[in-house]
Amino acid sequence: MKILKFSSVASILLLLLNLSLSWGAPDPVYETFLQCFTKQTNSTDDKLSSIVYNQESKSFSSVLRAYIRNARFNSSSTPKPTVIITPLEESHVQAAVICAKQVNFQLKIRSGGHDYEGLSYKSENPFFILDMFNIRNVDIDMEEETAWVGAGATLGEVYYKISEKSNVHGFPAGVCPTVGVGGHFSGAGYGTMLRKFGLSTDNVVDAKIVDVQGRILDRKGMGEDLFWAIRGGGGASFGVVLSYKLKLVSVPQTVTVFKVERLVEENATEIAYKWQFVAPATDNNLFMRMLLQPTTKNKKTTAKITVIALYLGLKDNLMSLLDKEFPELGLKKEGCMEMRWVDSVLWWSSFDLNTTKPDALLDRKVDWADFVKRKSDYVQQPIPKFSLNLIWKTMTELGKVGLVFNPYGGRMSEIPATETPFPHRDGNLFKVQYSITWEKPDPELEKNYTSQVSDLYSFMTPFVSKNPRGAYLNYRDLDIGMNHNGKDSYEEGKVYGAKYFNGNFDRLVKVKTMVDPENFFRTEQSIPVLPK
């Protein structure tokens, strides 16, 4: 009787224990982390609830979803972090690093969340997210023509804040205003002023980082090697970038934009062929992106090109430039629009200028995303006309995948390939982005679409760079290699590392080995340490 009683009490206890474990009993990892974090930051309990979230927190899922920018990784099967930390100040970042290290958890760092493979918010291993969206001051010094920008600021915020101070200053960075400073600048960053001013990182003059020991270091403190590495080598391998200091650039009071569309039946092939000679060689003030897409016209499948351009100057000068260099494009004066630089930023991100003011750039569009797959390539020799025709054919057969050609040349060819970790400089005519976007979750469709992208990528092999076949770090693509951060970490890293960084990979490995020898800052495509 007694024994029976005891065992039933025990089983009730066990049951309760089980229930409480599955119903959100505090996870020991979370508890240990929280204790450490509280101690490091001197935080009070009520303050902590808006900085550290575990899976049981009411707002866990809304905080996680806020900066998911590829809806493919917004599913119940996407691995979730054990803890999300959303620092309000720099000391919270220091504490997060120190305490994540103490419990030996992988720390994924997220600024704007635009990583195409979701590396800033998912992992195959148990992990935390350090979410930087609150660290987003933009402090502009017009005397010095510089700005300190927090890692969690968006490009839209940077552009808007600059435009509040001046309409003859700008910054050369990405087209999409919701992209985050932390990932974009640490991974190089480019936009419509690439040919005039180079990459975003070419215009970064200082930075603040939290290193693996939890110290805050500026350029002087971290030294030139680490400062070099975080201007294109990807922040996530080296530490947590708190902020970058940018040198602003001069833009004219009035700039000009245009967009021209041509079907294959309207000489698209001739225009696309000629584009390869003109776009990378023309006036540095002119950036002409070209999209190549399958389309239908009168129920017939065909392909089209769209040339979208920014000219840092007036319409009349642009017209005479293109009349001379690119008459095949058939640009009409009525097709050109003059505007302020900040309005060209809105125009490029497809806002309706009649109804939109620059403050639209401040919209963070939280918890919103399309389903996407992207890849990248570099073209160093013009693609012949007959091959362009084969591209149209392949594209229309595949159905949906498109290409974006971004011209290089200009300033990009003047900067040595070793100046920053980004190696794709002189000798590259343009970068190719493979692009497919859809709106609904559907595993069958996803399989079809991602194979369209890899089929077109295979088809393009003869036309793009080889040994290694180059890729752009900020167009993250796990197909080109992955790291499990085990004993083969260096060998695995060399595979994608050579593609992203070419000859700069070795120096990145040296810096990594120097600043983070235990490989605490690691991702599926981080820089490995030298084998011991």
Ligand X SMILES: *[C@@H]1O[C@H](CO)[C@@H](O)[C@H](O)[C@H]1NC(C)=O
Ligand Y SMILES: Cc1cc2nc3c(=O)[nH]c(=O)nc-3n(C[C@H](O)[C@H](O)[C@H](O)COP(=O)(O)OP(=O)(O)OC[C@H]3O[C@@H](n4cnc5c(N)ncnc54)[C@H](O)[C@@H]3O)c2cc1C
Residues with a catalytic annotation lie at 475
Which residue, among 484, 374, 448, 412, has the nearest Cα to 117 in the 3D structure?
Answer: 374
Interaction with ligand X in 357-376: which residues (CB under 6 A)? Answer: 367-369
Looking at beta carbons only, is 176 or 271 nearer to ligand Y?
A: 176
Query: Residue 472 and residue 432: Cα distance in Å, rounded?
Result: 10
C-alpha span between 161 and 141 (Å, rounded): 11
Query: Shortest Cβ distance from residue 42 to ligand X (Å)?
Result: 4
Q: How many CA atoms lie within 13 A of 450 on its CB side?
A: 14
When binding is defined by CB under 6 A, the residue of 32, 65, 247, 372 that contacts ligand X is 65
Three-class SS state of 483: coil
DSSP state of 142: T
- Told to check if 380 binds ligand X by CB under 6 A, we report no
The CB-of-157 to ligand X minimum distance in angstroms stands at 19
Closest CA to 460 of 528, 522, 388: 388
Please state the closest distance from residue 527 (CB atom) to ligand Y, in A: 11
- Cα separation, 247 vs 264, whole angstroms: 42
Binds ligand X by CB under 6 A, chosen from 420, 452, 474, 485:
452
Sign of the CA dihedral 168, 173, 179, 181? negative
Instruction: Provide the minimum distance between the beta carbon of 512 and ligand Y in the complex, in angstroms, as a whole number.
Output: 13
SS (H, E, C) 472-531: CCCCCCHHHCCCCCCCCHHHHHHHHHHHHHHHHHHHHHHHHHHHCCCCCCCCCCCCCCCC
Q: Which one of 30-38, 157-165, 236-244, 508-516 is the stretch in contact with ligand Y (CB under 6 A)?
A: 236-244
> What is the arrangement of strands in the sheet containing 371-379, beginning at the earlier edge strand?
336-339, 255-263, 300-311, 286-297, 402-407, 430-438, 371-379
Other Cβ atoms closer than 10 A to 40: 18
* Nearer Cβ to ligand X (73/238): 73
Select 364 or 400, whichever has its Cβ closest to ligand Y. Answer: 364
**CB nearer ligand X, residue 256 or residue 489:** 256
Q: How far apart are CA 481 and CA 71, in angstroms?
A: 22
Binding status of residue 201 toward ligand Y by CB under 6 A = no
Q: Which is nearer to ligand X, 65 or 469 (CB)?
A: 65
Q: Apex CA 200: angle with CA 199 and CA 206, to 5°?
A: 125
Q: How many residues bind ligand X (CB under 6 A)?
A: 20
CA 520 – CA 109 distance, rounded (Å): 12
Q: Which position among 26, 221, 399, 531 is part of the footprint of ligand X (CB under 6 A)?
A: 399
One-letter amino acid for residue 370 of the chain: D
Closer residue to ligand Y (CB): 175 or 478: 175
From the number of C-beta atoms within 10 Å of its C-beta (0-12, 13-18, 19+), residue 202 rates as buried
Q: Which does 151 bind (CB under 5 to 8 A by kind): ligand Y, ligand X, none?
A: ligand Y
**Cα radius of gyration rounded to whole Å, the chain:** 25
Amino acid at 207: A
Of residues 162-181, those binding ligand Y (CB under 6 A): 174-176, 179-180
CB of 200 to ligand Y, least distance (A): 7
String marking each residue 444-483 x if it binds ligand Y according to CB under 6 A = ------------------------------x---------
Which residues in 66-85 contact ligand X (CB under 6 A)?
68, 71, 74
Of 175 and 390, which CB lies nearer to ligand Y in the complex structure?
175
Residue 479: count other Cβ atoms within 10 Å of its Cβ: 14
Helix, strand, coil distribution of the chain in percent, nearest 5? 40, 20, 40
74 binds, among ligand Y, ligand X, none (CB under 5 to 8 A by kind): ligand X
Among 30, 53, 71, 110, binds ligand Y (CB under 6 A): 110
Pick the binder of ligand X from 41, 344, 474, 523 (CB under 6 A).
41
Q: Does residue 254 contact residue 339 with C-beta atoms inside 8 Å?
A: yes
**Does residue 448 touch ligand X according to CB under 6 A?**
yes
Q: How far is the CB of 194 from ligand Y (least distance, A)?
A: 9
Give the up-direction half-sphere exposure of residue 15: CA atoms within 13 A in the CB hemisphere.
6
**Residue 199 corresponds to which tokens in the numbers above?**
């990459």
* Footprint of ligand Y on 118-147 (CB under 6 A): 119-120, 132
Site for ligand Y (CB under 6 A): which residue of 36, 51, 222, 236? 236
Question: Which stretches of the chain bind ligand Y, using CB under 6 A?
Answer: 69, 108-116, 119-120, 132, 151, 174-176, 179-180, 182-184, 186-187, 189-191, 234-236, 240-241, 474, 523
Question: Which stretches of the chain bind ligand X, using CB under 6 A?
Answer: 41-42, 65, 68, 71, 74, 91, 266-267, 330, 352, 354, 367-369, 399, 448, 451-452, 455
